[in-house]
Chain A
Amino acid sequence: MKVLMKGNEALAEAAVRAGCRCFFGYPITPQTELLEYLARRLPEVGGVFLQAESEVAAINMVYGAAGAGARVLTSSSGPGISLKQEGISYLAAAELPCVIVNIMRGGPGLGGIQPSQADYFQATRGGGHGDYRVIVLAPASVQEMADLAVLAFELADAYRNPVMILGDGILGQMMEPLELPPFKEDLPAREWATDGCRGRARRIINSLYLDAEELERHNLRLQEKYRRIAEREVRWEEYLTGDAQVLVVAFGTCARIARATVKAARSEGIRAGLFRPITLWPYPYRQLQAAAASARAVLVVEMNAGQMVEDVRLALEGRVPVHFYGRTGGMVPASGAVLQELRRIGGVGRVQHVRPA
């Protein structure tokens, strides 16, 4: 049965159904519906909802709760996610599973409250200190806000790693019909949780390694885990890429716009296709390379000044010209403008030019 929900609420309800009984967060637009939904919903299922005094406190409550063995969620937007970075580094280092939602708004600084994708670097490159990785999932519909929430908790547990869901203000606020996931009953055992040492050896959750050799061993082990994740967990979607001469690469909201544009371009005889990364880390480098095999040009569309475009260039290794079209500050690329760019780079005999970021 389909229900009609806002993206933020769909994500929140899906988290509850995925067995999450614990939320710590702080209000910020445009993710506040998520917090408010859980303030009402979690007590109904015997869960913990706590409005923390700051995002710094919230992420450290997540650390404590995750360490105590709970499936735990926190959510915020750019300015708050910046404050959470210290905690995310500690969570990754101590290998604690948790899900962090960033419903992106325009930055830098206080920026604005309109949708944006400007936290791509922060999410995929690790905004905190040290060599660590966070799995980053990018939904593009209300259905995916829910589905990826379930997946996020599963990946977090499977790899004992923080997972970030990177949405934007449009995905958070818009309403779409969706199929909610079923309730999950049995959660994986946590043989590492600190929940009192009755009848067993005591456990320690920690990220301090004062001995350099020991810290390097710890890092090598983490890197090995990240390699495993990169091998197994890459996710993406393709649309009309088979014969595409112009390939659009976009994630989240921009991928929805790009899809409509690709269709329009096809009707004009431009052989366009769309490649949509769903995992932003690990990034589908090889898959993108394959999808771009027949492409003569690639256009990356983002709601930022050009961030994912760097991963696209890394993937394509200079084999195809990579163009960029982006809007910032909460401005959303219009399908017409993207189509114009497609015509420019895909149309025969035209000069290749792209408006700089």
Chain B
Amino acid sequence: MNQRNHPNHIEHDHVDLSHESYHTDHDHTSHHAGHDHGALLGAAEEIPAVFSQTLFLQFDKDMTENAICALLYDWLTSIQHWALFHHHYIGHIKIFAEFEEGFQLWLSATGREISVKNTAMKLPKNPVRRGTAAVTAIVFGTDEASLKVAVLNGWEETLALQSGKAAI
């Protein structure tokens, strides 16, 4: 499997790991997909917010595998930056993207380096115009609505930074 560590390494040393920084004042039962662990865990900060959705990706220009890889990498970086900037603790952020001709990318981050893998070990022979991305972000210290905005805005902003245009 291919693994690529992007030079744009994210440092973790500005994250405050004291317990106070993970305190949340949101409802513990509504934002974590039915995961009813509050009583067992005994600590509010152990219940994370979850974003989990499949997005349809449509590009209005031909994309190479490298361009797609960079786009998804930058998107994941933007979500990670958002979490670190707000002192949220990243459980796991992962993206599994599938494109034409069986091209697949698995990206994952736990707050440090982002790993990228070509799971099917296939590269598209032709330029790519569309695909899907299953995204799961599990982050402590925030709520589901803020996490959703961070993930979706992150995508829009990443696209805006690209020279071409694409839409979900």
**A pairs with B:** no
Question: Which A residues lie at the B interface, using CB under 8 A?
Answer: none
Question: Which B residues lie at the A interface, using CB under 8 A?
Answer: none
